[in-house]
Amino acid sequence: MIYGAYSCYREPSSGSLSGIDEAFAWIISLAHPVRGEETVPLALSLGRVAAHDIIATSPLPRFDHAAMDGFGLSDGDLGRPAPFDLPVVGRVLAGGVASSGLVTGGAVRLLTGAPVPAGVDAVIPEEACVSRGGNVRILKEIALGANIRRRGEDVSEGVAIVAGDTLIDARHMAILAASGVSSVRVRRRVRVALLSIGDELRPPATELAPGQIYDANRPMLTPLLAATADVVDLGLQKDHRRELADLLHGIAQEVDIIVSSAGVSGSDADHVAAAVGDAGGEARTFKVALKPGKPLLAGCVGSIPIIGLPGNPVAALVNFMLFARPLLNARNGIKAQRPRGQAAFVVEPIAHKQGRTEFVPARRTGHGRDGGAEVTALRPAGSARLHPLVLADGLIEIAPERGGVSAGETVEFHTFGTATST
């Protein structure tokens, strides 16, 4: 069936090959943040997007406290030449409360986190003192205010501790918990439909006939998407235009993004672009100046963005990193940014032909000058070679205008800690 079209398609610029930045801008323009919010417990907020600024209702720290184990001294004793002895007039533990303040001529034993009694103007570390019975010998001078964490020095009451449209990770959970936040208002979780396309594909644990292969893309892409979205697994789909169109039209009523792999190279067996049109949408098939991963499809079915990744798994991973995850971020309300690597030094030369941006699996082999990572490319690489990817720590990015890379030169290195996470 061919369905009536409602489209978010935008007419692309002409040209045989598209640069990464051009393709990125066009694809991201298809997305807008999903509507809807919900409140979740703090423990379930990991990977969710804050719907609004979260404001501190109390300062951090909440009170002046000792930054380390030691002894609290008053201002009147700070200027005395060391060594000198003081009587220990009290002891305060973390969670405790001082029974009285401190006056000049005495010291109070304080453990890390203990509230600082009135009259304490500095805490001298215990390694700079010697306890002798009920006295303490001060072995060195200490500055006014030393080793005291002041009330509100980290966060003042009324400031935003987590900004709206922030993807919440463990750091945010820590400051929210320290501030006493037990639940978080977040954006509705994005729903992503995922499918692999190809007559030759079979799931693991099935017997393969001649010419068939196991699907690697859905097992790879599912956890990448699930970090920030609910995944609707559409399984394996045949290279059949009408069936794809019916599937896309139906699922577009239920999800916020559609992610497919394979069927986008433009051969007479690739039907995704035509199926999108039959489903009531429009799509652009890109030829990106990229290796691996030149073929790419993007468009909309109705108002729902669809991105079609290449079928070869390494190419699918590179295109996911560059385009699909930023598109997902945009739907989540997070500012979409073109991924950038860290500067690293190449240990051995890398051959590269000008004209396309190339991503090469590489292993981190040490640290070079200025502490930067040293990396070694893993060859032979290719869009379908998974073993170099498994052995690698990340991907080297080589710019299209660059020729071969000599040993000692700098490249961008996308570590798998960033390339395969949110």
> pTM, whole model, 2 decimals?
0.86
pLDDT at residue 373 above 60?
Answer: yes
For the domain covering 342-419, report its CATH number: 2.40.340.10
User: What is the model's pLDDT at position 31?
Assistant: 92
Q: Does domain 65-149 have CATH number 2.170.190.11?
A: yes
246-267: average pLDDT: 96
Dihedral angle computed from the Cα positions of residues 380, 385, 390 and 394, in that order, rounded to the nearest 10 degrees: 70
Is pLDDT above 90 for 296?
yes
Q: Where in the chain is the domain with CATH 2.170.190.11?
A: 65-149
**Tokens 């049109």 sit on residue:** 277
**Alpha-carbon span 308 to 261, nearest angstrom:** 5
- CA distance linking residue 422 with residue 229, whole number of Å: 11
pLDDT tens, 40-99?
A: 999 999 999 999 999 999 999 999 999 999 999 999 999 899 999 999 999 999 999 988
Q: What angle do CA 127, 128, 134 make, to 5 degrees?
A: 90
Query: Distance (Å, rounded) from C-alpha 144 to C-alpha 388?
Result: 58
Under the banding of pLDDT at 50, 70 and 90, the label for residue 7 is: very low
Report residue 12's pLDDT band, with 50, 70 and 90 as the boundaries: very low
| pLDDT attached to residue 381 | 83
Q: Name which of 249, 277, 419, 325 is nearest 31 in CA terms.
A: 325
Query: pLDDT confidence of 419, banded at 50, 70, 90?
Result: low
36 burial (CB, 10 Å; 0-12 / 13-18 / 19+) is: exposed
Task: Please compute the mean of the pLDDT values over residues 113-128 and round it to a whole number.
Answer: 97
9 pLDDT higher than 70: no
Specify whether the CB–CB gap between 53 and 31 falls below 8 A: no
pLDDT over 70 percentage in the chain: 95
pLDDT-based confidence at residue 243 (cuts at 50, 70, 90): very high
Residues 6+ apart with CB under 8 A from 304: 252, 255, 256, 257, 258, 281
**Which ranges in the chain are annotated with CATH 3.40.980.10?**
20-35+189-332
**What average pLDDT does the chain have?**
93
- pLDDT above 70 (res 4): no
- Mean pLDDT on 141-156: 96
Ranges in the chain annotated CATH 2.40.340.10: 342-419
Position 418 scores a pLDDT of 62
20-24 average pLDDT score:
95
**Domain 20-35+189-332: homologous superfamily in CATH:** MoaB/Mog-like domain (3.40.980.10)
- pLDDT tens digits, one per residue of 329-364: 999 999 999 999 999 999 999 999 999 999 999 999
- What average pLDDT score do residues 375-394 get? 91
pLDDT given at position 421? 62
CATH fold label, 38-60+163-187: Molybdopterin biosynthesis moea protein, domain 2 (3.90.105)
DSSP string, 24-60: HHHHHTT--PPP-EEEEEGGG-TT-BBSS-EE-SS-B
Burial (Cβ within 10 Å: 0-12, 13-18, ≥19) of residue 14: exposed
pLDDT on residue 118: 96
